[in-house]
Structure 1
Amino acid sequence: MIHNLAAGVQAFTSNAFLVSGPPRADSPAANDDGETGRRVLVDTGSNFDILPLIRERVDDLDAVVLTHTHHDHVGNVEAVCDAFGVETWGFDTEQPSVDNEIPDEGTVEMGLGTYEALHTPGHKDDHLCLYDGDAGVLFAGDLIFQNGGFGRTDLEEGDRQALIRSIDRVRERVGDDFREMHVGHGPSVLDAPFDHVELAGRAARMR
C-alpha cells in the first residue's frame, strides 16, 4: 500500500509516501499471509507535523528513503528519525540528511516490493528514482510530474541536459506498461503513466 501523507497539506512541502504491506483487520501493514512488509517513508516532506499521520497507519517505521535532499523533501527528517528511531537512505551520504547510501542500480525493500534505485541527476545531483519492475511502480521524485511536467533546472546543481538524459533513462527502464508513478509534487499518475514520462522528455527538450 502507498499513501501520500502530505495530501491536502496547505504548506510548502513535497509529497511524503508511506509504503507498507496491504492492510488487514488485525494489523494495518500485513498481507493475507501475515507479512507486514517493510514500512518505509519515501521523503518526509516539510513544514507540517507528519508524525500523527504516520501513526494513524503504522505503529513503527523501518526506514526513510530520500529521492533527494532539497529542503521540502527532508524538512521533517529529524522529527521522523527521532520519533521512530530509524535511519535514512539516499544517494549521497555527504548530505546531512543521508545516513546510508543507496548506490545507482542498488535495491531497497519497501512494502512487499524490491525497488531499483536509478541515479537521475539534473534537478539535483543526488536525485534518485525508485522502480519496482514486478509491481510496475515508480517513485519519480522531482524528475517527472503529471502531464509532462519536469523538475526545475534553474536551482543550484540544476542541469537541463542531465535532466533530459535522466528522463530518457527512466523511460527506457520502465517500459510502456508500468502502472503507477508517484511524484514529488502534485497527484500520482495511475492512468497510462508512461505517456506522462514521454511527454516530460519532449517538454524538457523544448523549453
Structure 2
Amino acid sequence: MIRNLARGVSAFTSNAFLVDGERTVLVDTGANFDIVPKIHEQVDELDAVVLTHTHPDHVGNIDAVRDVFDAETWGFDLDQPAVDNAIEDESTLRIGDDEYVVLHTPGHKNDHLCLYSESATTLFAGDLVFQNGGFGRTDLPEGDRELLIRSIDRLRSVVDDSLSAMHVGHGPSVVDSPYDHIEMAARAARLG
C-alpha cells in the first residue's frame, strides 16, 4: 500500500510516500512538518528512505527519520549529505513488494531520479512531471530545460499506457490515464 504522509499538510513540503510490504520504504521525507508520528501511525519500522532528489522540500525531515528509525537513505549523489547509499541509473530497488527500475532524470536537479515498477505499473515521478502536463521548474540551480525535456522523453520511452499510478512530488497522485499526463508534460515543456 502507498500512502502520502504529507497529505493535508499546509506547510511547504513535498509529498512523502510510505510504501509498506516486504521492504517498507519512505519515498522522500518532505519538510516542515513532523513526519515521525505519521510514520508510526502506519508502521513500526522503516527499512529505507529513497530520495527522488535532494531539494530541501524533499529532504527536510531526513534527520528526524534517520534518528528515530535508523533507516539508511538511498539517492543518486553521495556528495549530498542526505544520501547514505548511491543508486545507479537503471539499477533495481525493492520498494514495498515490488522491484523498481531507477531512472536518472536530471533537468529539475542534477541528482533527480524516477522510480518505475513495470509489474506494479507504478511510477514515482518526483518533480519531473506532474498532473495535467505540469513539469519540474528549471529556474533553480542545476535546472536545465533541454535536459528536462530529454529526461521526460526518456521516461516516455520506458513507461507506456499500461501505467496505472503516477505518484508525484507535489499535488495529487495521478491514477486516471497517468501516461497521458506524461505526454502532456513532454509537449508543455517544449512550448515554454
- The corresponding residue for 1:172 is 157
In 2: Cα distance, 1:42 partner to 1:180 partner: 15
Please tell me whether residue 104 in structure 1 is matched to residue 82 in structure 2: no
- The corresponding residue for 1:11 is 11
- The corresponding residue for 1:74 is 59
- How far 1:175 sits from its partner (Å)? 1.0
State the superposition RMSD in angstroms. 0.4
Superposition pairs of residues 1-207 of structure 1, within 5 angstroms: 1-21=1-21, 37-207=22-192
- How far 1:200 sits from its partner (Å)? 0.1
In 2: Cα distance, 1:122 partner to 1:130 partner: 16
- How far 1:46 sits from its partner (Å)? 0.1
Superposition misfits of 4+ residues, deviation over 2 angstroms: none
- How far 1:189 sits from its partner (Å)? 0.1
| 1:40-84 Cα shifts (integer Å, max 9, x gaps) | 000000000000000000001000000000000000000001100
- How far 1:177 sits from its partner (Å)? 1.3
- How far 1:155 sits from its partner (Å)? 0.3
Letter paired with 2:5 = L
Aligned length: 192
- How far 1:105 sits from its partner (Å)? 0.3
Computing the radius of gyration from Cα coordinates, the structure with the larger value is: 1
- How far 1:107 sits from its partner (Å)? 1.1
- How far 1:103 sits from its partner (Å)? 0.3
In 1: Cα distance, 2:62 partner to 2:120 partner: 27
- The corresponding residue for 1:32 is none
In 2: Cα distance, 1:174 partner to 1:20 partner: 23
Percent of residue pairs identical = 69
Q: Which runs of 5+ in 1 are unaligned?
A: 22-36
Q: Which runs of 5+ in 2 are unaligned?
A: none
Letter paired with 2:40 = R
